[in-house]
């Protein structure tokens, strides 16, 4: 009787040299024995994103074919401000105030004086340690951020003139109307967990402060891993001034970012950057405690800000890609793909890293009222916030060294 030996069959998978080489290469990538991958220093645990289907969102999203933002916006204060994330004006109309990548909050004082340092978030701040000019928005600043601070969201309490700050490393802080070193308010929640990545905030009429803590796993320097993993350890928090305690309002959020109270104060809107959407939490009325979707977005949202009409501007780093959809829905592919020993900037392009700016105006029900694009990145490739003040849009960016303005409506 002829004996057949499966493992000596020339056609078996094991003895197919191409298959064997591919299997060994895959095993090498997954094991990453020499820590050559861009995620080797992290416990990378990707999960499936809770994100709307690509075709559903992109197929119905209105385009600004005239690229009005790129065509008509004006660059302001070039190389004078470094990563101006959030823009704020005080009760006297002075400003803008903005937080910079070098750890300062600065204030525009007019053409004669120009920008003036208004506040810092820590006594550790010094010019020698923290000032790097235009390099502040590059990796040269990253190792200094935890010492110097990185102020992100800014809000004035118009009742008392205090400026509240969400700093990526120092939590929630406040500084008086004369400026100086800010006073810490919240670095931990009441249960004892640290606030790892405070991002944005808004102030309720009763004095409570709602703010986001983007991740319990990654700080700001490593925030891109929050997006890659799809991890949902982010939280919406509330600071209570009378008790000086911070409570968890919502948890299980995927990169919670911008925060905005509605005009009637019954709703808190917030963006979820990883899941490309604008959400709202009811805090008053019969739906109190419920969370609703406001809008699915074509890209990755940052801050949301209200205008005088009760409409909402959302800053979006656009756009999602088909490849990003595949990676988002298949964490096992991400687990292998991002272990390939190639620079992260190259691997991340299918996730939407080659970006341009979109700003969108919504009504309270999520209906799109306007869309403005900078499709060629002429004004900015990454956007963080849009403020509408007296017929002008003020546009901030965490990544560039300028502010953009645009007359609106134009």
Give per-residue pLDDT as tens, 337-394: 887 777 777 777 665 556 899 999 999 999 999 999 999 999 999 999 999 999 999 9
pLDDT, position 103 = 98
Q: Which residues contact 342 (CB under 8 A, 6 or more apart)?
A: 38
Q: How far apart are CA 289 and CA 283, in angstroms?
A: 6
State what percent of residues in the chain have pLDDT above 90: 77
Question: How distant, in Å, are the alpha carbons of 7, 150, 197, 252, 327 from that of 216?
Answer: 49, 17, 8, 10, 23
| Total-model pTM | 0.90
pLDDT, position 24 = 44
Q: How far apart are CA 375 and CA 322, in angstroms?
A: 18
Whether 302 and 273 have beta carbons less than 8 Å apart is answered as yes
State pLDDT tens for residues 57-88.
999 999 999 999 999 999 999 999 999 999 99
Is the pLDDT assigned to residue 38 strictly greater than 80? Answer: no
Is the pLDDT assigned to residue 204 strictly greater than 90? Answer: yes
pLDDT band at 18; cut points 50, 70, 90: low
State pLDDT tens for residues 80-124.
999 999 999 999 989 999 999 999 999 999 999 999 999 999 999
**Which residue has tokens 């080659």?**
354
pLDDT band at 3; cut points 50, 70, 90: very low
Whether 149 and 129 have beta carbons less than 8 Å apart is answered as no
Q: 34-38, 47-51, 61-65, 361-365 — which is least confidently predicted?
A: 34-38
pLDDT band at 323; cut points 50, 70, 90: confident
pLDDT band at 10; cut points 50, 70, 90: very low
What average pLDDT does range 9-35 have in this prediction? 50
What's the distance, Cα to Cα, between the start and end of the chain in Å?
A: 89
- In this structure, the number of other CB atoms found within 10 A of the CB of residue 364 comes to 17
Whether 163 and 96 have beta carbons less than 8 Å apart is answered as no
pLDDT, position 16 = 55
Q: How far apart are CA 285 and CA 75, in angstroms?
A: 43
pLDDT, position 6 = 41
The token pair that represents 23 in the structure block: 């299997």
> H/E/C letters for each residue in the chain?
CCCCCHHHCCCCCCCCHHHHHHHHHHHHHHHCCCCCCCCCCCCCCCCCCCCCCHHHHHCCCCCCCCCHHHHHCEEECCCCCCCCCCEECCCCCCCCEEECCCCEEEEECCCCCCEEEEEECCCCCCHHHHCCHHHHHCHHHHHHHHHHCCEEEEEECCCCCCEEEEECCCEEEEECCCCEECEEEECECCCCCECCCEEEEEECCCCCEEEEECCCCCCCCCHHHHHHHCCCCEEEEEEECCCCEEEEEEEEECCEEEEEECCCCCEEEEEECCCCEEEEEECCCCCCCCEEEEEECCEEEEEEEECCCCCEEEEEEECCCHHHHHHHHCHHHHHHHCCCCCCHHHHCHHHCCCCEEEEEEECCCCCEEEEEEECCCCCCCCCCEEEEECCEEEEECCCCCCEEEEECCC
pLDDT band at 39; cut points 50, 70, 90: low
pLDDT, position 242 = 96
Q: How far apart are CA 199 and CA 315, in angstroms?
A: 14
């Amino acid at each position: 009787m002829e004996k057949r030996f499966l493992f000596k069959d020339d056609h078996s998978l094991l003895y197919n040299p191409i298959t064997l080489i591919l299997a060994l290469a895959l095993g090498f990538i997954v094991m990453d024995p020499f820590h050559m991958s861009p995620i080797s220093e992290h416990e990378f645990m990707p999960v499936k994103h809770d994100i709307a289907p690509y075709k559903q969102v992109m197929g119905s999203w209105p385009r600004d074919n005239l690229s009005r933002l790129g065509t008509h916006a004006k660059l302001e204060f070039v190389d004078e401000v470094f990563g101006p994330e959030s823009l704020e004006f005080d009760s006297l109309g002075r400003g803008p105030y903005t937080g910079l990548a070098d750890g300062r909050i600065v204030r525009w004082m007019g053409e004669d004086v120009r920008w003036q340092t208004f506040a810092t978030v820590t006594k550790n701040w010094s010019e020698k340690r923290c000032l790097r000019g235009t390099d502040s928005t590059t990796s040269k600043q990253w190792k200094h951020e935890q010492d110097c601070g990185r102020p992100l969201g800014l809000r004035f309490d118009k009742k008392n003139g205090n400026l509240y700050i969400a700093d990526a490393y120092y939590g929630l802080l406040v500084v008086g109307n004369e400026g100086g070193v800010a006073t810490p308010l919240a670095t931990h929640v009441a249960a004892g967990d640290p606030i790892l990545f405070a991002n944005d905030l808004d102030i309720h009429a009763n004095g409570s402060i709602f703010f986001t803590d983007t991740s319990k796993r990654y700080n700001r320097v490593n925030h891109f891993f929050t997006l890659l993993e799809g991890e949902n350890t982010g939280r919406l928090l509330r600071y209570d001034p009378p008790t000086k305690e911070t409570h968890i309002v919502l948890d299980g959020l995927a990169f919670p970012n911008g925060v905005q109270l509605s005009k009637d104060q019954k709703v808190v809107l917030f963006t979820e950057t990883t899941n490309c959407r604008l959400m709202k939490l009811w805090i008053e009325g019969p739906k109190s405690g419920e969370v609703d979707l406001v809008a699915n977005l074509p890209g990755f949202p940052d801050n949301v800000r209200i205008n005088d009409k009760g409409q909402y501007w959302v800053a979006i780093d656009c756009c999602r890609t088909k490849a990003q959809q595949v990676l988002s829905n298949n964490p096992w592919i991400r687990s292998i793909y991002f272990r390939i020993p190639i620079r992260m900037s190259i691997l991340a392009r299918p996730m939407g890293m080659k970006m341009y700016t979109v700003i969108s105006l919504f009504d309270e029900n999520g209906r799109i009222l306007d869309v403005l694009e900078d499709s060629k990145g002429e004004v900015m490739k990454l956007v963080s916030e849009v403020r509408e003040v007296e017929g002008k849009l003020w546009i901030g960016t965490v990544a560039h060294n300028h502010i953009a303005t645009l007359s609106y409506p134009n």
